[in-house]
Amino acid sequence: MTGDFNIRDNDWDPNYSHHSVYTEDLLTLAESLGLDLLPPINPGPTRFVDNPHDTNSVIDLAFINPNNSGFGQHSLHPELRRPSDHVSLIIAVSINKTNIDNSFWFISKDSKEEKNFIKAITDNTLALDTSNIMSKENLEVVAQQLAGIFNKAWYS
């Protein structure tokens, strides 16, 4: 799990002197997914600011499953950031030399099947009741319903 989490915290940014109230939530989420924070081999800012009154920060993070030997170290590459104000995070991924058979299903572009698929998703998504997403549980119900809409449209 990687991305711009927009959480400044001294746990991952030694130049920041505060502990964020959101850090615990992020770390709890990562732990629930079996992930650990993966510090880069070359620590530094991951977001550079244009305003000289602000400071660069570390808000882009990487979390990995510590039991997955396929993911190794990760590094920051500030030289690749332009035009973005964020640094690229590069994660080393081991690829086995064994042959992996895989297949996939697809819908041809501009086909009758594509039109039917899009119509089914559109019609059913428009009918989805999202008026009561006030809790994590209600959001989960709506997310499951949305997943069901896509699943049904795919297998129809």
User: For 49-95, what is each residue's pLDDT tens digit?
Assistant: 888 888 999 999 999 988 887 777 889 998 887 788 999 888 888 87
pLDDT, tens only, 104-140: 888 999 999 999 999 999 999 999 998 888 889 999 9
Please tell me which of 38-42, 64-68, 95-99 the model is most confident about, judged by mean pLDDT: 38-42
Angle in degrees, CA 58, 92, 37, rounded to 5:
40
H helices of 55-131, in order, are 112-126
Packing angle, helices 112-126 and 136-155, rounded to 10: 150
Residue 63 confidence (pLDDT): 93
